Copies of this chain bind each other. A is one copy, B any other.
Amino acid sequence: MSSEAAGLYSGTTSDAMEKIVTALDSSAAAGPGEPESAAKQIPPAAVARMTLYLRALNSLLAEGVERVSSEALAEASGVSSSTLRKDLSYVGSYGTRGVGYEVQYLSRHIAAALGLTHDWKVAIVGAGNLGKALARYGGFESRGFDIVAIFDADQMVIGSEVGWLRVSDVADMESVLHRTGANMVVLALPATVAQEMCDRVIAAGIRSILSFAPVLLQVPPYVNLRKVDMATELQILAYHAQRTQTPGQPVRRDVG
């Protein structure tokens, strides 16, 4: 996260949620004096891996595969089968012992656990190179994220076409967010204006933000914020590269 991966996630995990008790559940299994069952919370590292399982399952589905073992799915996702089974246990028991998992059935349950059963409406703030690239990126639509608006402050850019959309004036941001029903925002902005726009977006009612701005954003605890910083990724790579490559070493041509 950070990893975080290295995750650099700084969102909220409501402790209050942990304490919600499902009174009906607790009667049978729990012995006297034992804590009662609480609303499950999936560990952050497991949530990140769920997206890998989902991607692998959807590939299998596209290939027409109907069943898969934890061993095979783990391999396709790049994790150990032990980790996979442990992760799946956080969302429920959707496999059959001695048999494996039904691909479509498991895929649906993971999607449900991640909150991907309905489409999310995403607005992009910033129509520079990155904002445009994101707006045109096909990977979002196919995974349940609809880009519903893109904003910029530059009069030369406002009104121009980006993919299926027209760039809106950031001055109208609040009304456009409201009209389009956006419930997530991607910040593709320079560091200098990121905090200001972040504040406005939150004031407009948005509670989930993905930021590409290379700056530490301050958000209230009830806002979910994730950050992606491409220069940071290269710096982390540099650290590992340094340990395996002699710093000045030029590219070696392999024979082959």
Contact = CB atoms under 8 A, between A and B. Distances in A.
In the complex, the count of this chain's copies comes to: 2
A31 to B, nearest CB: 29
A156 interface: no
Interface residues of A, number: 101
A237 B253 contact: no
A120 interface: yes
Describe A's contact surface by its main secondary structure. Answer: mixed
A1 B251 contact: no
Interface string A45-70: 10111111011100000000000000
B253 A174 contact: yes
A183 B251 contact: yes
A13 B5 CA distance: 15
Interface stretch (A80-88, A100-108, A126-134): A126-134
Nearest to A131: B133
A101 to B, nearest CB: 18
A27 interface: no
Interface in A187-233: 203-210, 214-216, 222, 224, 226, 228-233
